[in-house]
């Protein structure tokens, strides 16, 4: 059954990815959601409509939560969590890295993850207990044991001007200790890049469940580790995430602990 859910998510993620590619070099209609950093385009909305209609049709008894306003509650054990276009700021600027991210929770536990990055035609998938794959080939996290030798990534939330917890202090700490930091602007892809061994770690504040639900399953199934900044188990509805290959996790927590102002 879970495999059917995974296949359905793959099918519709690919379709939404095509929609994204179609719209990439066309004029974007930009609207603001709260502040000048937080934007949405007509393509985010079109992708959400496409994915939600598909899921509603196929799984009418399931709950669905998606970034651009969908919140269908049927009291189901199954909850789809959808980011119809992760990396909207990249997309709006024509920067070719963005994704479709579809996660499925069963009784609150993430069990299916699908992240499709259409520019490189990369489909990352995982189901609980079944391993993680990139374009049908199994993937694993790196064996890197030190921060010193690690390439890690992070991002900055849209409330960067509104809180002291703006992640700049952590960025400052990490950049002096690791091999390299990247800031790609697509949390779901950051997470998949840990799963397939391109990054060793990732942390961020104030992500939303649709940014991380799919990636969490994919990292776990690829042998990685996920937690809050204090090492407690990841809460995909929570305010912080640390993800890694497992081997550098403690070192990342120590660095994040230097500025834990909560």
Binding region for ligand IPD (CB under 6 A):
83, 86-89, 155-157, 185-187, 207, 211
Candidate residues 48, 63, 83, 190; the one interacting with Ca ion per rule CB under 5 A: 83
Candidate ranges 16-24, 108-116, 210-218, 241-249; the one touching Ca ion (CB under 5 A): 210-218
Q: How far is the CB of 129 from ligand IPD (least distance, A)?
A: 27
DSSP label of 35: S
Chain-centroid distance, C-alpha 132 = 15
Selection from Ca ion, ligand IPD, none that 150 binds (CB < 5 to 8 A by kind) is none
Q: How far is the CB of 186 from ligand IPD (least distance, A)?
A: 5
Asked if residues 205 and 242 have their Cβ atoms less than 8 Å apart, the reply is no
Alpha-carbon distance of 258 to 224, in angstroms, equals: 23
Alpha-carbon distance of 218 to 22, in angstroms, equals: 27
Helices (H), the chain: 2-24, 42-58, 88-92, 168-177, 187-195, 209-221, 249-257
Alpha-carbon distance of 190 to 216, in angstroms, equals: 11
Alpha-carbon distance of 220 to 32, in angstroms, equals: 34
Copy the structure tokens of residue 52: 């939600």
Selection from Ca ion, ligand IPD, none that 157 binds (CB < 5 to 8 A by kind) is ligand IPD
> What stretch of H or E contains 116?
strand 109-117
Q: By C-alpha distance, which of 211, 208, 203 is closest to 260?
A: 203
Copy the structure tokens of residue 219: 């990292």
Q: How far is the CB of 78 from ligand IPD (least distance, A)?
A: 23
Question: Which residues share a beta bridge with 154?
Answer: 203
Selection from ligand IPD, Ca ion, none that 186 binds (CB < 5 to 8 A by kind) is ligand IPD
Candidate ranges 49-57, 89-97, 130-138, 211-219; the one touching Ca ion (CB under 5 A): 211-219
Candidate ranges 10-18, 69-77, 85-93, 214-222; the one touching Ca ion (CB under 5 A): 85-93
User: 8 or 189: whose CB is closer to ligand IPD?
Assistant: 189
Copy the structure tokens of residue 216: 């969490």
Asked whether position 117 contacts Ca ion by CB under 5 A, the answer is no
Candidate ranges 110-118, 119-127, 132-140, 209-217; the one touching Ca ion (CB under 5 A): 209-217
Selection from ligand IPD, Ca ion, none that 200 binds (CB < 5 to 8 A by kind) is none
Selection from ligand IPD, Ca ion, none that 205 binds (CB < 5 to 8 A by kind) is none
Which residues here bind Ca ion, judged by CB under 5 A?
67, 83, 85-86, 211
């Amino acid at each position: 059954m879970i495999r059917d859910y995974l296949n359905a998510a793959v099918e519709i993620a690919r379709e939404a990815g095509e929609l994204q590619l179609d719209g990439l070099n066309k004029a974007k209609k930009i609207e603001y959601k709260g502040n000048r950093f937080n934007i949405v385009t007509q393509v985010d909305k079109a992708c959400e409509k496409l994915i939600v209609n598909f899921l509603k049709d196929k799984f009418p008894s399931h709950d669905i939560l998606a970034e651009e306003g969908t919140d269908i509650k049927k009291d189901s054990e199954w909850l789809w969590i959808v980011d119809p276009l992760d990396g909207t700021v990249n997309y709006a600027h024509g920067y070719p890295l963005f994704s479709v991210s579809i996660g499925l929770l069963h009784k609150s536990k993430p069990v299916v993850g699908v992240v499709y990055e259409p520019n490189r035609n990369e489909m990352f998938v995982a189901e609980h207990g079944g391993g993680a794959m990139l374009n049908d080939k199994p993937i694993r996290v790196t064996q890197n044991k030190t921060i010193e030798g690690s390439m890690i990534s992070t991002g900055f939330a849209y409330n960067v001007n509104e809180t002291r917890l703006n992640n700049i202090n952590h960025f400052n700490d990490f950049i002096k200790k690791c091999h390299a930091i990247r800031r790609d602007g697509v949390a779901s892809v950051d997470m998949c890049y840990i799963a397939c061994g391109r990054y060793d770690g990732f942390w961020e504040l104030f992500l939303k469940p649709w940014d991380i639900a799919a990636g969490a399953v994919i990292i776990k199934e690829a042998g990685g580790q996920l937690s809050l900044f204090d090492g407690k188990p990841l809460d995909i509805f929570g305010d912080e995430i640390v993800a890694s290959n497992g081997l550098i996790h403690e070192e990342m927590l120590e660095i994040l602990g230097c500025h834990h102002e909560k």
